């Protein structure tokens, strides 16, 4: 069944989504959220996608504003610890990067505070595998690279002795 929203309904849904993004402090992650539906802006969404995005943002708002049980908070803390190991979270200023990383469909596709207990356990397992893989094959940074010796040999054009 195709949903058809009139212009007023569509505009109201778009305003509500933007309001929820702002309330959740997710405006910097707007492109990442839009990417979940394969679009770059709300105007490019179909009516069904717009409704689904609205439901996604409603769930994000509820997750953000509702106090989570102790068990969920502990699991979130474990996830943040592993994200720190990966290098995605070092300070509270890094939430945009954390959200961008978690919103990738190959990682999670949702925000941390939207996840239930089982989803958090799966995420932690996945993040630990990523961290272990990253630690097993470290990429050398330019500051960590060893110096290499380079010899330069000059040959005179006239065929004389080489110094």
85, 131 Cβ separation under 8 angstroms: yes
Q: What is the pLDDT of residue 135?
A: 83
Per-residue pLDDT band at 146 (split at 50, 70, 90): low
57, 21 Cβ separation under 8 angstroms: yes
89, 83 Cβ separation under 8 angstroms: yes
Q: Who's near 145: CB < 8 A, 6+ residues apart?
A: none
Average pLDDT of every residue of the chain: 86
Share of the chain above pLDDT 90, in %: 58
Could you tell me which of 82, 39, 79, 37 has the C-alpha nearest to residue 55? 37
Q: Calculate mean pLDDT across residues 104-120.
A: 91
- Assess whether pLDDT exceeds 80 at residue 123: yes
115, 108 Cβ separation under 8 angstroms: yes
The pTM assigned to this predicted structure is 0.71
32, 70 Cβ separation under 8 angstroms: no
pLDDT in tens, 34-74: 999 999 999 999 999 999 999 999 999 999 999 999 999 99
Q: Residue 118: enclosing H or E segment and its boundaries? A: helix 117-136
- 142 vs 113 pLDDT, higher one: 113
Q: What is the pLDDT of residue 136?
A: 81
Please give the Cα distance from 3 to 54 (Å, whole number): 14
pLDDT in tens, 67-110: 999 999 999 999 999 999 988 887 877 788 889 999 998 998 99
Q: What is the pLDDT of residue 91?
A: 80
Please give the Cα distance from 87 to 103 (Å, whole number): 16
Question: CB-hemisphere CA count at 13 Å for 18?
Answer: 9
5, 53 Cβ separation under 8 angstroms: no
The ranges assigned to domains in the chain are 1-66, 68-135
Could you tell me which of 77, 78, 98 has the C-alpha nearest to residue 87? 98
- Assess whether pLDDT exceeds 60 at residue 14: yes
17, 42 Cβ separation under 8 angstroms: yes
- Assess whether pLDDT exceeds 70 at residue 140: no
């Amino acid at each position: 069944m195709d949903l058809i929203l009139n212009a007023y309904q569509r505009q109201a849904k778009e305003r509500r989504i933007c309001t929820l993004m702002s309330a959740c402090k997710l405006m910097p992650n707007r492109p990442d959220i839009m990417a979940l539906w394969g679009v770059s802006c709300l105007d490019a969404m179909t009516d069904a996608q717009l409704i689904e995005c609205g439901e996604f943002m409603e769930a994000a708002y509820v997750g953000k504003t509702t106090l989570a049980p102790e068990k969920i908070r502990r699991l979130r803390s474990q996830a943040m610890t592993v994200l720190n190991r990966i290098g995605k979270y070092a300070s509270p200023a890094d939430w945009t990067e954390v959200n961008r990383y978690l919103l990738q469909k190959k990682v999670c596709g949702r925000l941390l505070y939207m996840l239930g207990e089982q989803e958090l356990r799966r995420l932690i397992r996945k993040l630990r595998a990523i961290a272990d893989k990253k630690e097993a094959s470290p990429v050398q940074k330019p500051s960590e690279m060893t110096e290499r010796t380079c010899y330069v040999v000059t040959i005179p054009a006239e065929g004389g002795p080489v110094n």
